[in-house]
Structure 1
Amino acid sequence: MSAQSFCRRLLLVLCCCSSASWGADVLMAFGEKIPPYCFPESDSGIELEVIGEALALRGHRLKPRYYPLARVPLAFRHGEVDAAMTDLGQDLTDQGGHYGEPAVIYQNVLVTLRNRQLNLQRPEDLKGLSVVAFQGAAKRYPEWLGATQAAGLYFEQNNQELQVLGLNKGRYDVVLSDRSIYHYFEQLLSRTALFKAKAVDMHSFTEEDPQNYRPVFRDAQVRDDFNAGLQQLKKSGRYQQIYDSYLKP
């Protein structure tokens, strides 16, 4: 084989290898019913737009798939998707996962009705109180929710609109939710004549670890491309624009 022929074949192989990641369709698992981060009916929301635009800056196309939140890491484990928005505390490295930088950081708080005058500063303060949270919360915050779960007073609800309704009607004592998600559903329900929002207190109970919100990818190159695109979004100001478009009045 001539040197020229060898170089041509080598170039062809390199091009084929690089095209496997460049311009890829990225099938990614997202949780359903978590506005303003994900709106399945329109493939929009803060998290979808941030991840989608970060990937697009490197030529990739986001293809979202929606699951009950607890099934998101399972979809990755079972090979149904190429990526997942979160691992819900399950290390997916041994499943071929490559972790990216967090696209968003949820600000989870404990929400109570103000007229109850509850002061929640320690896990012990939840004793005797019923708590409803998003799926997977008990695994993420065992030190706070373990005793409540053992006492049979802990519940998980995928539809977080029902969490807001339940607290407002006194069916639960405490809701564990992201600030923005709670406010979104409260505002949505307030547009109906049947719902009158009661004043609430939001108790910060832990410092959020950004590592809890890292997306995971099966392809390391796609992960690297996402990280690079995410940094570009932040430097350009587009990242904040996406947030503002959903959260500012």
Structure 2
Amino acid sequence: MRIIFTLFWFFCLSWQLTAQERSPNDLELVTGLPKPPFILENSKTGLQLDLISEAFATQNMNIDYVSMPLGRNITGFQRGNVDGVITVPPSYKYPSMHVSEPYINYQDIAVTLSDSHIELASLKDLSAYSIIAFQNAKKFLGDEFADIAAYSVDYRELANQKQQFDMLFSRRTEVIILDVNIFKYFVRKYGSDVVNSAFEMHYLFPEREYSIGFKKKEHMEAFNEGLQTIIENGTYQVILDNYLL
């Protein structure tokens, strides 16, 4: 634990030294771990990161990304000398955080194997099964889901969403919960190497919007202006189509 704590503060110090060398038009934003197609394995590109970078490019600003597990994003935002964190709910409240307009949507689903014959008509039905969800799902998916997770026969959260995918098809869990586009990406990429059974996708959750939380109001305003620009000039839709079609 002492080693982990020392390493964390080493990274914070490194951010501070790097920040002194950055120009006012260079920003550093905290991201989550890779979750294709939103954040690809190199943690520099992907649907979500491309939208952010293009929006800021219209404002002549350059973005660098600091990858960190979702559960530590806010800690990194608070202690590291970074300019913002890229995935927060639009209604999120945090001291000295300026939250942008929503710029990305997630549609979470529950996925089961067809031959398990699991019927999920509502969230309450989940409590009878073993579940592996994405990290911080209990915080993001609402109070009802958090209560269900607390009483589930076997509930876990994983930062590595490829592990969720693998564990479903290796029958080490009965239900996985993740974004539909992340799931479809894994199906396309790994195909028959992993997908050895028919599956069912259950749309139990409402679509969720996400924003960016910034330390400075002017960065939030610049992003909002850039976002509107790429929506109006068609760049936003081109990026969506590039990753989702």
Amino acid at match of 1:44: T
Letter in 1 for 2:168: L
State the 1:39 CA deviation.
1.8
Counterpart residue identity of residue 238, structure 1: T
Alpha-carbon distance in structure 1 between the residues aligned to 2:214 and 2:97: 5
Preserved CA contact (<8 Å) 1:55 1:225:
yes
Residue 105 (1) aligns with residue 105 (2): yes
Q: Which amino acid aligns with 1:122?
A: S
Contact residue 40 and residue 66 of structure 1 kept, 8 A: no
- Residues 110-121 of structure 1 mapped to structure 2, 5 A cutoff: 110-121=110-121
What's the % identity of the aligned pairs? 30
- The change in CA–CA distance for 1:42 and 1:69 in structure 2 (over 3 A counts) is closer
Unaligned runs of 5+ in 2: 1-22
Q: 1:40 to 1:190 in 2, by over 3 A?
A: closer
- Whether 1:244 aligns to 2:237 is no
Deviation at 1:176, TM superposition (A): 0.6
C-alpha contact 2:90 2:102 (8 A) present in aligned 1: no
2:105 match: secondary structure = coil
| 1:224 aligned onto 2:221 | yes
Moved more, 83-92 or 47-56: 83-92
- Deviation string 1:24-65 (CA, Å, 9 cap, x unpaired) is 211101111211111251611001110011011112111101
Report how far residue 118 of structure 1 moved.
Answer: 2.1
Residues 42 and 78 of structure 1, relative CA distance in 2, 3 Å threshold: closer
String of CA shifts for 1:175-231, please: whole Å, max 9, x gaps: 110011011112222264xx2442211111122242xx1111111111111011111
Query: Larger C-alpha radius of gyration, 1 or 2?
Result: 1
- The answer on whether the counterparts of 1:129 and 1:148 sit within 8 Å (CA) in structure 2 is no
**Any stretches of 5+ residues in structure 1 without a counterpart?**
1-21
1:136 paired residue number = 136
Q: TM-score, normalised by structure 1?
A: 0.82
Q: Deviations over 1:100-124 (max 9, x none)?
A: 1122111111111122232222222
Label 1:151 to 1:116 Cα distance change in 2 as closer, same or farther (>3 A).
closer
Letter aligned with residue 47 of structure 2: I
The letter for the 2-side match of 1:115 is D
For 2:205, what is the secondary structure of its paired residue? coil
Say whether residues 1:235 and 2:242 are aligned partners. Answer: no
CA distance in 2, matches of 1:183, 1:33: 15
Amino acid at match of 1:202: M
- Describe how 1:11-90 pairs up with structure 2 within 5 A: 24-41=25-42, 43-87=44-88
**Could you give the per-residue CA deviations for residues 105-153 of structure 1, whole angstroms, max 9, x where no partner exists?**
1111111112223222222201220111111101122312423334451
Q: Which whole-Å CA distance do the structure 1 matches of 2:136 and 2:90 have between them? A: 8
**Number of residues paired by the alignment?**
222
Greater fraction of residues in strand: 2
Name the CA shift for 1:200/1:191 in 2 (closer, same or farther; >3 Å). closer
Conserved? CA contact 1:54–1:233, under 8 Å: yes
Compute the displacement of 1:92 (Å).
Answer: 4.3
TM-score (norm. length: structure 2): 0.83
- After superposing the two structures, state which structure 1 stretch, 144-153 or 121-130, moved more: 144-153
Aligned to 1:15: none
RMSD value over aligned CA atoms? 2.1
Letter in 2 for 1:246: Y
Q: 1:203 to 1:196 in 2, by over 3 A?
A: closer
Change (3 A) 1:42 1:209: closer
